[in-house]
Chains A and B, each alone.
Chain A
Amino acid sequence: MLRSLKRYTLLIIYVAMFAVMAVFIPQFLAVDNVVSILRHTSFAGILAIALTLVVIAGEFDISFAAIASFAGIATALMMPGIPLPVAWLIGLGIGIGIGAFNAFNVSILGMPSFIATLGTMIVLDGISHHVTNGAYVVNFDWPANFGFMGQNMVFGILPNPVVFLLIIFVVFVILTWYSGWGRRLYAVGGNPEASKHVGINAIRMKFTAFILAGVLSAFAGLLTASQLSCVEPLMDDAYQMPAISAMFLGSVFIKEGIPNIWGTVLAALLMVTLVNGLGLVGSSQWVKILIQGAILLTAVGIVAGLKKGVIPTLKI
């Protein structure tokens, strides 16, 4: 019984939190605010899905936000003079390349994934910072359509990024949970020995996972740049905490420690809503950081404590 209760806990918590905020915070239910929450959730959610894929495969990727920023910046700087679709393809290609680099370090060279992706993150952040000199990059030579992907509203109200999140969400829920590939991915993360004996090529699976993560991250970065019509130096660092929290939270509450896509996205929605609500009541930055840390530790601690150390697919 505990198991099935757990599955809906996150949803119940979210509904309760939403209700409390709707009642006690005046501007919470305003259309602008709800749209803002949805938009932020889409960026955090896509990034969190990227991370989830890698964690399912038994590794970790802390470079996803850096990939997003880097891809956004690189594309933005390349854009004058290149047709728009090509620019987007190049940006996504950058994601593929960096994902492959991570996969190479982890699978072929055998580096521990946390440190390897930490190294990648440092390199990328350094280049991003160097290129933008810490300043914003705005360029009026950009094709007018660049903003389309990020700013357009479907039905006049739903921002494009949210639609993209929904599409990516559905695609990856099906891919990870209802396909053979997904089962193999969980196998690689859950029981590397057994999956090797069964003939699953762990190296190929991990390459795919890291590359998909890279592409998704790059896509999120490009979307952000498109939405703001300018490029902040390290724009996606703001989403790093919610995305990581969302991945852990989703795995803990929905599947008892096993990372999963819908848990991740629901948790992303929860984290973004929480931060939004805190902001509306005037909490400073530090409260948000503190609370996210407390939530992370509590969530992971509950599962770990209950099972005394068995968080099976989080092999770092």
Chain B
Amino acid sequence: MKRPPFRLLKYNLLFILAACIVVFSIMEPRFCTSANMLVVLRQAAVMGIFAIALTFVVVSGEFDISFAAIGGFVASLFSVFLLEGLGIHNMVIVWTIGWTFGIGVGLINASLVRLIGIPSFVATLGMMWLMDGASQGLTGGGFYFSSKWPKMYGVLGRGFTFGVLPNAAVFFIAVAIATLIILEHTRIGRHLHAVGDNPEASRHVGISISRQKYIAFAIAGFLAALGGTLTASQMGHVGPELTRGFLMPAITVVFLGSIFLGRRTPNIWGTLVAAILLAAISNGLTLLGITTGLRYSVQGALLLGSIAVGRKRIVAALVRGDRV
């Protein structure tokens, strides 16, 4: 692998982030206000959690397009079914059930891929439709809001620790640290990387490819559920559209982050920085008056650009048509 000409080039995304902050602040003074930074952080938190979910799966050599839908479904599930329908009001219990559900769906995804042999993007595409349909069915199609929800519902998304730090950011940082440690500094994480980079070699060394992928999908499902929970908490309602808006940005974040640190595969650090970067760009463009549609296109361009730049390892990691 070629060394980039300047060692510091591997911190490319950080430079871009700094540049964006400077440029946006100059062009639009409102960008640098603490209120705005709060908005950016909140966006980055949700995008980041979803993106980390996808990162685990891509690192292990598969793809998961259902993560946003899983998050939306879990949110609808606990909002409509648990809180409303069953009347359970202890948020901790509700969240635990919801997050376990996320793990369950992740395991089902993994079964479809490993047990039945459906290529991962088709399997998760079908799962996404199932989850979307189920969400819509639960919420009846529109925004679902209930005054019976306990106050703790919004605490994750809108509360503050020590009155200053937004809970969402704290949550995100906690998740980020945990996943960083898991993926980069534990044996499980190394095995996940191994399975994605070189399945043949992993098998010869004795790593169970199936088990690693089950783990990856399960973690993704769990994180997706977290993301859905956070979004619902921020918005104060659930509905079919709740998490759909995070699908494409999260995918963009994962691939944007893959060019960070010269790794050329999706990695947690890259995902983190890219999440903040994309949130900042989106926010800055909004303040500058760029319309929703054009902002969406910019994301698409970033996605294409980051793949074009970092393609070699990503191609190897993603195009696994053969079963191992």
Interface string of A116-135 (1 = CB under 8 A from B): 10111111111111110100
Give min CB distance, B155 to chain A, whole Å.
Answer: 30
B78 at the interface (CB under 8 A from A): no
B300 near A122 with CB under 8 A, answer: yes
Task: Answer yes or no: B112 CB below 8 A from chain A CBs.
Answer: yes
In the bound complex, residues from chain A placing their C-beta under 8 Å from that of B323 are: 308-310
22 A–B pairs (Cβ distance < 8 Å), ordered by A: A109-B308, A111-B311, A111-B315, A112-B319, A115-B314, A116-B307, A118-B248, A118-B303, A123-B304, A126-B299, A126-B300, A127-B294, A130-B292, A130-B297, A284-B137, A286-B134, A286-B136, A290-B133, A293-B130, A297-B118, A316-B122, A316-B321
Q: Which of B117, B129, B300 makes the CB contact (< 8 A) with A308?
A: B117
The reply to whether A126 and B298 form a contact with Cβ atoms under 8 Å apart is yes
Across the interface, A293 reaches (CB within 8 A) one of B127, B141, B255, B307, namely B127
- B137 contacts which of A118, A125, A287 (Cβ < 8 Å)? A287
Chain A's closest residue to B322 (CB) is: A309
Given contact pairs A289-B133, A300-B126, a sample of 4 additional A-B residue pairs in the complex whose CB atoms are under 8 Å apart? A112-B315, A115-B251, A293-B126, A309-B323
Please report the C-alpha to C-alpha distance between residue A100 and residue B131 in the assembled complex, in whole angstroms.
34
B residues less than 8 Å from A296 (CB atoms): 122, 125-126, 129
Do B296 and A122 touch across chains, with their CB atoms under 8 A apart? Answer: yes
Expressed in whole angstroms, the Cα–Cα distance for A105 and B141 within the complex equals: 37
Binary contact readout B284-305 vs A (1 if CB under 8 angstroms, 0 otherwise): 0000000111111111110110
Q: A126 contacts B296, CB within 8 Å?
A: yes
Cα–Cα, bound, A29→B131 (Å): 32
Q: In the assembly, what is the distance between CA of A105 and CA of B301, in Å?
A: 12
With A105-B308, A300-B122, A305-B117 in contact, do A125 and B296 touch (Cβ < 8 Å)?
yes
Say yes or no: B117 contacts A307, CB within 8 Å: yes
A297 near B126: Cβ-Cβ < 8 Å? yes
By a CB distance below 8 angstroms, the chain A residues around B119 are: 304, 311, 314, 316
How many angstroms from the CA of A129 to the CA of B300 in the assembled complex? Answer: 13
Q: Tell me the residues in window 270-310 of chain A with beta carbons closer than 8 Å to chain B beta carbons.
A: 284-294, 296-297, 300-301, 304-305, 307-310
B residues 231-250 near A (Cβ < 8 Å) are 240, 248
Do the beta carbons of A119 and B112 come within 8 Å of each other?
A: no
